[in-house]
Amino acid sequence: MSEPIISVDGLSVRFPVGRSGFWGGKQRLLHAVDGVSFDVARGEVLGLVGESGSGKSTTGRAILRRVDASEGTIRFKGEDITHKTGEEVRRLRRHMQLVFQDPYGSLNPRQSVLEIVAEPLLVHGMIDRISDARDQVVEFLDLVGMPPDAVDRHPHAFSGGQRQRIGIARALALRPDFIVADEPVSALDVSIQAQIVNLMQELKDELGLTYLFIAHDLSVVRHISNRIAIMYAGRLVEIADRDAVYETPMHPYTKALLSAVPIPDPAVEKQRQRIVVQGEIPDPVDPPPGCRFASRCAYRQDRCVEESPELRDVDGQQVACHFAEQIAAGDLVAR
């Protein structure tokens, strides 16, 4: 296999969140991401899925060097970029871009579409004046399915889906290889979501892109992902080929997430059993020593509370659960 475009090894990100006690006690740290490792192969789409606060955005931002890693290594095309700063990060940005969740908040309402899409080119010294990029911007707009006369209009003239197309055009302007798409359709109407996901799929094929595609549920990433990584409370709990995740989910949390995905066949859908996870999410400032999911897991055993499970290979899937085999074999029954 060729070298992965992105390689994340043991990534942890902790945020200082004030001190304990009144008079300058110990610095408290919020464990947003904890010991996460994965690769993204060239041309691949890795879906990164988990509920709110699980650390998906922080993982994506760490890869793009928008937030510092506290531990671990991030490699881009084999080069260690973990501690790159300043001009080096600026140069990396040409190759790695972010598509934002919120197409309303992420586009400057005072800029024209021409300015929005051409700005990265100006910042990176690839043009001298915004107006020089007019033809290029029209081409990028065409690529994302927007008419040429959009160039002189402002974001408010467009719908959410159209704004996200503009956001994608902006991310593509520097012709990056790798894109972190951070919930690019979550803010859009369900009817529009598939259009934008399809557009991203087409652009990926046409331009040879690689994506880390973040979502909070498993329905959005199904068609576009080659592999899917599931995060829970800062940790990776499962990572496997797309079909394996949907057909033989191993981690109890993956099973629960999957049970929330509607099934297109109405007869099957009627019989879908929703697994409702109850219980508290662990405090990210004081994470428990055992499995982060233990407080909500229907299969919890004593060992789960005592010992944190590492990701390991179980039947070709990577899963962080002490009892994955027993659960798969039906030897352990959900409470």
Ligand X SMILES: Nc1ncnc2c1ncn2[C@@H]1O[C@H](COP(=O)(O)OP(=O)(O)OP(=O)(O)O)[C@@H](O)[C@H]1O
In the complex with ligand X, the residue whose CB is nearer, 67 or 192, is 67
From 65, 170, 216, 251, residue interacting with ligand X (rule: CB under 6 A) = 216
In the complex with Mg ion, the residue whose CB is nearer, 57 or 254, is 57
- Which H helix or E strand runs over 271? helix 266-271
50 binds ligand X (CB under 6 A): yes
Rg (CA), the chain: 21
Binding residues for ligand X restricted to 246-285, rule: CB under 6 A = 284
Residue 161 three-state SS: helix
**Could you write out the DSSP letters of every residue in 271-319?**
H-------SPPPPTTS--SS-TTGGG-TT--HHHHHSPPPPEEETTEEE
Residue 205 three-state SS: helix
Residue with tokens 């969140």: 17
CB of 216 to ligand X, least distance (A): 5
Nearest to 6 by CA among 57, 58, 46, 35: 46
Residue 22 three-state SS: coil
* Range in contact with ligand X (rule: CB under 6 A) among 53-61, 83-91, 156-164, 266-274: 53-61
In the complex with Mg ion, the residue whose CB is nearer, 57 or 162, is 57
55 binds ligand X (CB under 6 A): yes
Residue 24 three-state SS: coil
58 binds ligand X (CB under 6 A): yes
Residue 75 near which of Mg ion, ligand X, none (CB within 5-8 Å, type-dependent)? none
- The site string for ligand X over 2-21 (x = CB under 6 A, - otherwise) reads -------------x-x----
Sort 167 into a burial class: Cβ within 10 Å, 0-12 / 13-18 / 19+: buried
> What six digits make up the tokens of 30?
């919020």
Cα separation of 220 and 224, whole Å? 8
57 binds Mg ion (CB under 5 A): yes
Count Cβ atoms below 10 Å from residue 85 Cβ, excluding itself. 9
295 binds Mg ion (CB under 5 A): no
From 7, 8, 49, 54, residue interacting with ligand X (rule: CB under 6 A) = 54
Residue 120 near which of Mg ion, ligand X, none (CB within 5-8 Å, type-dependent)? none
107 binds ligand X (CB under 6 A): no
Residue 219 three-state SS: helix
From 11, 30, 166, 220, residue interacting with ligand X (rule: CB under 6 A) = 30
Binding site for Mg ion (CB under 5 A): 57
Binding site for ligand X (CB under 6 A): 15, 17, 30, 32, 50, 52-58, 216, 284
